[in-house]
């Protein structure tokens, strides 16, 4: 059975029409399933774990990047709790006009269009990164001010100017240089550091305050600023970031990797 | 890597870039080409090529396949093939390489040892 998990923000009047269109499209495609509506009282991890145990065919996140992150964390946690590799694929139906960068990067169109992607069921096994006790699929971001990076206990990186640090598994920002467009299937993270806010650069240029490292594990330390995962959730530091898990994800033909 | 001197050429197929406002401390081991424009302290080892920018400051031993040095290096340098020392370079350390060129104006304080280039060595 397909399990559709509606984030709490979509259960508002603003999205009534969008949800109606999505549900009609899903019915037309014969992809009906169970709907779970997230709310304050519902434990998402428990709900997802129960559905996986009951043999869910697909877990579909209906919402935005934050929803995708919550569901990924729930699926991975279910795998850890039950000491198994979860094969159930994650589907995504983006709702709303903002904060759907993950879906866009995976080639999933909005609302009804996402139904067609679900129907095509093109599955890719993608790396999932871990930061502290949380998981993310796209990138971890933190301000460079006061940040120290320790790389696999071999060396440390100190950033001497204000800027931004991105640890990228799946690059959701299309304006990043080609070299920083990480491949989410290679078990490697790209560490991209840009100091001094300047013009957007589509080509990597060392003399323009851009730095790039490829690595498997690093520790981020910053006493003041948090790390933002998947453009949605914040975690505090110190946090070790690594890429050591994977997840089946339904992607579109127009994916950017 | 350094046959053509264009800026674009130097970062072709680059694996790591240490930008101008970055300081790396420790033992950096890489497989691919590395560009250093910032500060590096410790050691730098790669199977690829190293490009050290004119403003880079390095207090480290360097081991690489080929190298172009434009900045300040304090430490021994061991290059399997060709090393190019630019006019802006200030090197305080010994160099071991198969072939080299030194541009007028470069400062080189150290022992220079030429080792024969081994034909069976394949760049990885």
Say if residue B47's pLDDT is above 70.
yes
Residues 165-184 of A with CB under 8 A from B: 179
Question: How near does any CA of chain B get to the CA of A49, in Å?
Answer: 40
The Cα–Cα gap between B43 and A221 comes to: 23
B87 bridge partner residues = none
Query: Does the pLDDT at position B109 exceed 60?
Result: yes
- Residue A95 near residue A111, CB atoms below 8 Å: yes
The yes-or-no verdict on residue B6 having pLDDT over 50 is: no
pLDDT digits (tens, 9 = 90+) for A163-177: 999 999 999 986 667
Confirm or reject contact between B115 and chain A (CB < 8 A): no
pLDDT at position A198 is: 47
Contact of B77 with B90, CB cutoff 8 Å? no
- The Cα–Cα gap between B63 and B47 comes to 8
Average pLDDT over residues B67-88: 97
The pLDDT mean for chain B works out to 89
- Give the contacts of A175 (CB within 8 A, at least 6 positions apart): A200, A202
Q: What angle do CA A236, A241, A243 make, to 5 degrees?
A: 145
CA nearest neighbour of A44 among A14, A18, A66: A66
Give this prediction's pTM. 0.90
State whether residue A155 sits within 8 Å of chain B by CB: yes
Q: Would an 8 Å CB–CB cutoff place A206 in contact with chain B?
A: yes
Among candidates A151, A195, A204 on the partner chain, residue whose Cβ is nearest the Cβ of B11: A204
Is pLDDT above 70 for B120? no
Say whether B22 and A211 touch across the interface (CB within 8 A): yes
pLDDT beneath 70, residues of chain A? 40-41, 174-176, 180, 197-208
CA distance A242 to A198: 29
Per-residue pLDDT of B54-77, as tens digits, reads 999 999 999 999 999 999 999 999
**How many other β-carbons are positioned within 10 Å of the β-carbon of residue B123?**
11
Q: How far is A146 from chain B (nearest CA, A)?
A: 13
Q: Is B24 on the interface with A (CB under 8 A)?
A: yes
Burial B2-21 (b: 16+ CB within 10 A, else e): beeeeeeebbeebbbbbbbb
Please state the rounded mean pLDDT for residues B39-52: 97
Whether the Cβ atoms of residue B106 and residue B72 lie closer than 8 Å to each other: no
| pLDDT tens per residue across span A38-82 | 986 678 999 999 999 999 999 999 999 999 999 999 999 999 999
DSSP A94-114: E-SSSS-HHHHHTT--STHHH
């Amino acid at each position: 059975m397909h399990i559709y998990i509606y984030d709490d923000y979509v259960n508002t009047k603003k999205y009534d029409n969008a949800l109606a269109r999505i549900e009609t499209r899903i019915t037309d495609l014969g992809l009906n399933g169970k709907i779970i509506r997230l709310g304050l009282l519902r434990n998402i991890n428990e709900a997802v774990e129960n559905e996986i145990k009951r043999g869910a065919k697909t877990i579909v996140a209906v919402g935005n990047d934050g929803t995708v992150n919550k569901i990924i964390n729930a699926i991975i946690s279910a795998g850890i709790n039950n000491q198994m590799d979860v094969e159930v694929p994650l589907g995504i139906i983006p709702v709303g006009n903002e904060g759907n960068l993950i879906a866009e990067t995976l080639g999933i169109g909005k609302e009804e269009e996402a139904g067609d992607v679900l129907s095509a069921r093109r599955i890719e096994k993608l790396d999932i990164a871990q930061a502290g006790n949380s998981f993310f699929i796209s990138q971890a971001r933190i301000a460079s001010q006061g940040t120290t990076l320790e790389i696999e206990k071999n060396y440390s990186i100190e950033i001497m100017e204000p800027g931004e640090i991105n640890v990228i598994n799946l690059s959701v920002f299309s304006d990043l240089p080609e070299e920083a467009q990480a491949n989410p299937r290679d078990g490697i993270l790209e560490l991209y550091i840009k100091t001094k806010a300047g013009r957007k650069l589509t080509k990597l240029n060392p003399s323009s305050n851009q730095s790039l490292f490829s690595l498997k594990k690093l520790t981020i330390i910053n006493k003041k600023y948090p790390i933002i995962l998947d453009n949605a959730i914040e975690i505090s530091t110190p946090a070790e970031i690594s890429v050591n898990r994977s997840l089946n994800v339904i992607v579109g033909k127009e994916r950017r990797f | 890597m350094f046959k053509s001197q264009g800026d674009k050429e130097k970062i072709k197929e680059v694996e790591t870039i240490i930008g101008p406002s970055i300081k790396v401390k420790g033992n950096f081991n890489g497989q691919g080409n590395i560009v250093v424009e910032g500060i590096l302290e410790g050691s730098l080892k790669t199977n690829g090529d190293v490009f050290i920018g004119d403003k880079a400051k390095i207090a480290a031993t360097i081991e690489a396949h080929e190298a172009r040095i434009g900045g300040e290096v304090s430490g021994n340098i061991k290059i399997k093939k060709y090393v190019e020392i630019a006019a802006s370079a200030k090197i305080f350390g010994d160099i071991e390489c198969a072939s080299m060129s030194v541009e007028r104006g470069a400062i080189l304080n150290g022992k220079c040892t030429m080792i024969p280039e081994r034909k069976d060595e394949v760049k990885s």
